[in-house]
C-alpha cells in the first residue's frame, strides 16, 4: 500500500524558516517524481514544487521561487521542503504527492501537515 506521511509543520513567525519531511513507503520511491502541493484554509489547491526521481529536474511555483527548496533522499525514502522567509500567505496545509510513471497528475497524496505563519 502506498503511504506518504508528512511531518515538520507548526506555528512559525514571519520571516523564519521551517523544514517539512515526507516519508514514503509501499513503492520504490527512487522511481517516482514527487511534489509539494498546498491548500490554504478553506481554499483550493496550489502546486508548490516538483522534483524528478533522480533530482535532475526541479521546478517551483512563482509564489515560492527563491524562498523554498525541494529535495529528496532516495536512500531514506524521504522528500523535503525547506521553507525560508515565510509569509502569512504561506499558511496552508502542505501535502506531498506522487506522480505516476510518465505522467503528471497526482496519483497518491499524503495526509498533509499544517504550517501557520503568524506573529
Contacts with another protein by CB under 8 A lie at 44-47, 50, 57, 59, 61, 95, 100, 103-112
Nearer to another protein, 18 or 33 (CB): 33
Smallest separation (angstroms) from another protein to the CB of 117: 21
Nearer to another protein, 60 or 67 (CB): 60
Nearer to another protein, 2 or 11 (CB): 2
Phi, psi for residue 16 in degrees, rounded to 5: -90, 180
List C-alpha distances in Å: 92 to 62, 109, 118, 119. Answer: 16, 15, 12, 15
Smallest separation (angstroms) from another protein to the CB of 104: 4
Smallest separation (angstroms) from another protein to the CB of 105: 4
C-alpha cell at position 106: 497526482
Smallest separation (angstroms) from another protein to the CB of 84: 22
d(CA 105, CA 98): 8
Nearer to another protein, 46 or 74 (CB): 46
Other Cβ atoms closer than 10 A to 79: 28
Amino acid at each position: 500500500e502506498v503511504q506518504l506521511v508528512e511531518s515538520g509543520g507548526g506555528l512559525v513567525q514571519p520571516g523564519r524558516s521551517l523544514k517539512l519531511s515526507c516519508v514514503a513507503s509501499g513503492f520504490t520511491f527512487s522511481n517516482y517524481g514527487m511534489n509539494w502541493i498546498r491548500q490554504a484554509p478553506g481554499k483550493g489547491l496550489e502546486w508548490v514544487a516538483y522534483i524528478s526521481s533522480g533530482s535532475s529536474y526541479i521546478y517551483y511555483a512563482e509564489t515560492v521561487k527563491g524562498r523554498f527548496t525541494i529535495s529528496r533522499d532516495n536512500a531514506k525514502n524521504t522528500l523535503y521542503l525547506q521553507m525560508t522567509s515565510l509569509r502569512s500567505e504561506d499558511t496552508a496545509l502542505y501535502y506531498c504527492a506522487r506522480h505516476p510513471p510518465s505522467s503528471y497528475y497526482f496519483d497518491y497524496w499524503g495526509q498533509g501537515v499544517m504550517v501557520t505563519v503568524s506573529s
